[in-house]
Amino acid sequence: MKYVALVLLLFTGASLFSQPVSLILAPQATAAETRAAAILKSYLGKLTPQPITVTREPKSEPVPPAIFIGQSPASQAQGFIFPDKMAEDALFLHGKGGMVALGGEGEKGAEYAAYSLLELLGCRRFSPRDTLIPKLETIQLPVLPARVETPAFPYRELWYEPAMDDSWARWHKLKTHTQKNKEWGMFVHTFDKLCPQNQYFKEHPEYFSFNGAQYSPGQLCLSNDTVFQIVVASLRAAIAQNPEAKYWSVSQNDNYDYCKCLRCAASDRKYGSTAGSLLLFVNRVAREFPNKVISTLAYQYTRKAPNGLKPEPNVNICLCSIECNRGNPIEEGCADFANDVREWSALTSNLMIWDYVVQFRSYFGPFPNWKTLQPNLRFFQKNQVQMMFEQGSGRDRSEFSDMRAYLLAKLMWNPNASQDSILADFRKGYYGEYAGFVDRHIKDQIRRMEKHGKKLWIYDVPQNEPFVRDSFYYRMMNFDQGMSKPSDPKLERRMRPIVLVELFSFLENMKSVPTRGDDFLARNAYMMFRFDTSGLHNMFNSFEQWCSEVGMNHLNENRYTPAQYVKDFREFLARIRDAAESIALNVQLAEPASPQYASGKAEVLTDQLVGETDYRYNW
């Protein structure tokens, strides 16, 4: 018999003498509990060579290691008492004597408890590409005081590349992309879907915005009764096609062209906000659909809460923080938006925050917002926000997108968790031997951003960010000093996006290097740019190749590709070499220049720097 056992151990990794890990389901296990058992069986089978068994009614008294999934006679016999009732998605864990009981509320609570237990055993899902499963000889189940974890926000959605993977999102207790598509029949900026301007504007311009002089198709006239009837009919038809969807957005288009006709303007004056006419309209629509949640935006011109007008109980307010400086927490750096949160929270408990956590114009640009993420989520929790939507770079990878998504997922579940511990754990498991370098690199970004006044905007470019310009030549020349080539190809792949961000920042800043001056590096950059471009061509080749290798497919939200960027940059070089040969003349302006660009200085017209189609570059 011992030879059979040895053969089994060598070829299957299992021993006849290993104590099985018992997964014990309740006799009437829920779908979530059954799914939790399957998840545990799959991961535990990779963690340990011990056999994993699943049973509903054990014939004998369980012995350690045993995991009880859901309340059952067997769990009660071991002294595990489950809570009578928990909030939706809440999880329960209790461990003692080499056994653990776990469960949860709703469709996902027990599954979330299983993921939490796996993390306690050392497993991690850093990204859809990077999973850590340690190898253990035997499973030692932890001692855990009985605890219930209730999510800070009942609705948690993360618009970041890792969260596009449903299995990663479920592990991190987030709304999955698949769930989102089922639950939302329409999602934001829907006026044109509900009352299309290409269908109605030509014959009925009065259905649309009046700006005081003429009609415009930018937004709807919300005091027009026919518009209301059209929107309700369109919405009713859409719901008939998708009756299971819970949320339906009736919300402004993405522009400022709101209606200023006499009736709309009167409503806005009455309620002290341009949200007045909007909320009157949305409330009226919501009353037509009492079994659905009608969501609308408090965005840009409708951000300020109205006075004396409350949303209907089935109206969801999605309040957007698009204007805020990301260099400071919202309470410190965006007091007007913080006040908007408080005022909307006083009007309704059905409040959603749409927050922004990435540099949209430049996914490769440094964006050190690390000190703001946790304080902002704590502030939203304090003000009874129920739904969180954190918008990152969507389906595209971006600067530190894996680490930022990981952190945000943990903090949306519990804003009071230790951010330092979460990040240290991620760096150690994801970056390995380079964890210390990454920590120092991010702290240096934060230090330089704070030195330049804590200004960080979601629509800017590296060339205009003072903290990026600060010593960028030095940083690029010394970026990888003292770093040996990773021995593990995985580590090289994980470090490559950091190098790409620095390379991109270097290239972007070189577009505005001085044509004169005493700075040695600036003069050398100037020479490379205008005359000796061999080094630049090598950079371009590396940039495009590395982007492809790590899956960084777009440079901004407009889906600008690395290949197009390289093509455009090479054309820019040709123009700037021509400019370098021009003669700088003393320009006299017939009329004063606008201070909006280059502070109105005339000399920028002949400084031999070439502008681009984007006004942020050398205009």
213 with 338, same domain: the answer is: yes
Rg (CA), the chain: 29
Contact 404, 392 (CB under 8 A): yes
Residue 16 maps to a domain: yes
Structure confidence at residue 7 (pLDDT) = 38
**pLDDT band, very low/low/confident/very high, at 36 (cuts 50, 70, 90):** very high
What one-character DSSP code corresponds to residue 600? Answer: G
Residue reference for tokens 């080539």: 485
How many Å apart are CA 180 and CA 90, to the nearest integer? Answer: 19
Is 143 domain-assigned? yes
- 504-524 residue pLDDT tens: 887 887 776 654 434 434 444
Using the structure block, give the residue that is written with the tokens 């949160």. Answer: 341
* Segment among 92-106, 198-212, 505-519 with least mean pLDDT: 505-519
How many CA atoms lie less than 13 Å away from 30 in the CB half-sphere?
A: 16
Q: Are both 9 and 145 inside the same structural domain?
A: yes
Do 260 and 136 share a structural domain?
A: no
346 lies in the same domain as 201:
yes
Of the pLDDT bands very low, low, confident and very high (cuts 50, 70, 90), residue 617 is low
Report the first-to-last Cα separation within the chain, whole angstroms: 83
Distances from the Cα of 379 to the Cαs of 205, 358, 382, 384, in angstroms?
43, 19, 5, 9
- The pLDDT-based confidence of 43 (bands split at 50, 70, 90) is very high
- CATH number of the domain that residue 27 is part of: 3.30.379.10
Average pLDDT over residues 167-186: 97
Residue type, 172: H
Of the three residues 131, 150, 169, the one that is the final residue of a domain is 150
pLDDT > 90 in the chain, percent = 73
Q: Give me the pLDDT at residue 520, please.
A: 38
Q: Between vectors from CA 307 to CA 303 and to CA 308, what angle results, nearest 5°? A: 135
CA distance 167 to 179: 12
Domain end marker among 388, 403, 419? 419
Give the Cα separation of 323 and 406 in Å (integer): 25
In a domain, 404, yes or no: yes
Q: Where are the alpha helices (DSSP H) in 160-246?
A: 166-171, 177-183, 191-194, 197-200, 225-241
Residue 307 has pLDDT above 70, yes or no: yes
Q: Tell me, what amino acid is at 597?
A: Y
Write down the pLDDT at residue 517.
Answer: 38
Asked if 237 and 366 sit in the same domain, the reply is: yes
333-346 average pLDDT score: 97
Using CA atoms, how far residue 277 sits from 186, 188, 309, in Å, is 21, 18, 10
Q: Is 189 left (phi over 0), alpha (psi -120 to 50) or beta?
A: left
Q: What was the pLDDT predicted at 180?
A: 96
Look at residue 528 and tell me if it is in a domain. Answer: no
Tokens of 433: 């031997």
Tell me the one-letter amino acid at 245: A
Task: Specify whether 134 is located in the same domain as 233.
Answer: no
- pLDDT at residue 526 is higher than 70: no
Q: 594 or 429, which is more confident?
A: 429
Are residues 123 and 235 both part of a single domain?
A: no
Let me know the angle formed at the C-alpha of 569 by 567 and 572, rounded to the nearest 5 degrees. Answer: 115
Q: Which residue has the tokens 């908007």?
A: 340
**What span, in angstroms and rounded, lies between the C-alpha atoms of 118 and 140?**
12
Could you tell me which residue, 112 or 595, shows the higher pLDDT? 112
> How many domains does the chain fold into?
3
Q: For 588-607, what is each residue's pLDDT tens digit?
A: 778 787 776 666 777 666 66
pLDDT at 527 over 70: no
- Lowest average pLDDT, out of 33-47, 136-150, 270-284, 530-544, goes to 530-544
Q: What is the pLDDT of residue 489?
A: 86
Predicted confidence (pLDDT) per residue in 438-496, tens digit: 999 999 999 999 998 899 999 988 877 878 866 554 455 445 555 567 778 889 899 99
Mean pLDDT, range 271-296, rounded to an integer? 98
Strand partners, 298: 319
Please, which pLDDT band fits residue 105 given cuts at 50, 70 and 90?
Answer: very high
Structure tokens at 598: 């280059």
Evaluate if residue 315 carries a pLDDT over 60. Answer: yes
Predicted local confidence at residue 569, as pLDDT: 84
CA 17 to each of CA 14, 29, 60: distance values in angstroms, whole numbers, following the listed order: 9, 30, 18
- On average, the pLDDT of the chain sits at 89
Res. 525: pLDDT tops 70: no
Are 285 and 314 in contact by the 8 Å Cβ rule? The answer is: no
Is the predicted pLDDT of residue 6 greater than 60, yes or no?
no
pLDDT band at 503, cuts 50/70/90? confident
CA distance 561 to 105: 44
Q: Which helix (H) or strand (E) holds 55?
A: strand 52-55
Mean pLDDT, rounded, for 406-432: 98
Which residues span the domain enclosing 408?
A: 178-419
Q: How far is CA 495 from CA 141, 435, 489, 499, in A?
A: 34, 10, 10, 7
C-alpha atoms less than 13 angstroms from C-alpha of 268 in its C-beta half-sphere: 19
As a whole number of angstroms, the distance between CA 516 and CA 505 comes to 21
Res 586: pLDDT: 72
Q: Is 157 within the bounds of a domain?
A: no
How far is residue 193 from each of residues 246, 254, 299, measured CA to CA in Å?
18, 13, 18
Task: Please indicate, yes or no, whether residues 228 and 126 belong to a single structural domain of this protein.
Answer: no
Residue 128 has pLDDT above 60, yes or no: yes
Q: Which amino acid is at 408?
A: L
Angle at 232 between CA 227 and CA 234, to 5 degrees: 95
CATH code, domain with 387: 3.20.20
Question: Which residue would you say has higher pLDDT here, 7 or 45?
Answer: 45
On whether both 283 and 415 belong to a single domain, the answer is yes
Residue 385 counted as domain residue: yes
pLDDT reading at 264 higher than 50? yes
Do 183 and 145 share a structural domain?
A: no
Whether residues 203 and 306 share a domain: the answer is yes
- Is residue 212 domain-shared with residue 279, that is, in the same domain? yes
The helix (H) or strand (E) run that includes residue 491 is: helix 489-510
- Tell me, what's the pLDDT at 465? 81
Query: Is residue 499 one of the residues assigned to a domain?
Result: no
Nearest to 95 by CA among 122, 123, 124, 66: 66
How many Cα atoms occupy the beta-carbon half-sphere of 132 within 13 Å? Answer: 17
Select from 419, 442, 457 the last residue of a domain: 419
pLDDT above 60 for 327: yes
Residue 285 clears pLDDT 90, i.e. is over it: yes
Do residues 307 and 327 make contact, with C-beta atoms less than 8 angstroms apart? no
61 within domain boundaries: yes
pLDDT score of 505: 85
User: What span, in angstroms and rounded, lies between the C-alpha atoms of 90 and 149?
Assistant: 5
Quote the pLDDT of residue 89: 97
Percent pLDDT > 70 in the chain is 85
Counts for the chain of helices (H) and strands (E), in that order: 23, 17
Identify each DSSP E strand in 150-306 by its residue range. Answer: 155-159, 184-186, 208-210, 215-220, 247-249, 293-298
